[in-house]
Amino acid sequence: MKPLFVALVLVAGGLVATTPGMEAVQAFVRTQAADRIEREVEAGALGALLGEAGGKLLADNASAFTERRSYLAASVYTVEPEGDGDADGRVLGVARQFIVIDELEGDD
Pairwise CA distance, residues 45 & 43, whole Å: 6
Percentages helix, strand, coil for the chain (3-state, rounded to 5) are 50, 20, 30
Model pTM? Answer: 0.77
In a domain, 15, yes or no: yes
In a domain, 60, yes or no: yes
In a domain, 88, yes or no: yes
- Of 77, 101, 104, 100, nearest to 89 (Cα)? 104
Determine the pLDDT at residue 106. Answer: 54
Residue 66's domain spans which residues?
Answer: 2-102
Determine the pLDDT at residue 89. Answer: 85
Pairwise CA distance, residues 77 & 93, whole Å: 7
- Of 61, 96, 94, 99, nearest to 80 (Cα)? 61
In a domain, 65, yes or no: yes
Predicted confidence (pLDDT) per residue in 43-68, tens digit: 778 778 888 888 888 888 888 888 99
In a domain, 96, yes or no: yes
Question: Is the confidence at residue 73, as pLDDT, over 80?
Answer: yes
Q: How many domains does the chain have?
A: 1
User: Please, what is the average pLDDT of the chain?
Assistant: 85
Pairwise CA distance, residues 58 & 53, whole Å: 9
In a domain, 107, yes or no: no
Pairwise CA distance, residues 11 & 66, whole Å: 27
In a domain, 108, yes or no: no
Predicted confidence (pLDDT) per residue in 79-103, tens digit: 887 667 677 789 999 999 999 998 7
In a domain, 76, yes or no: yes
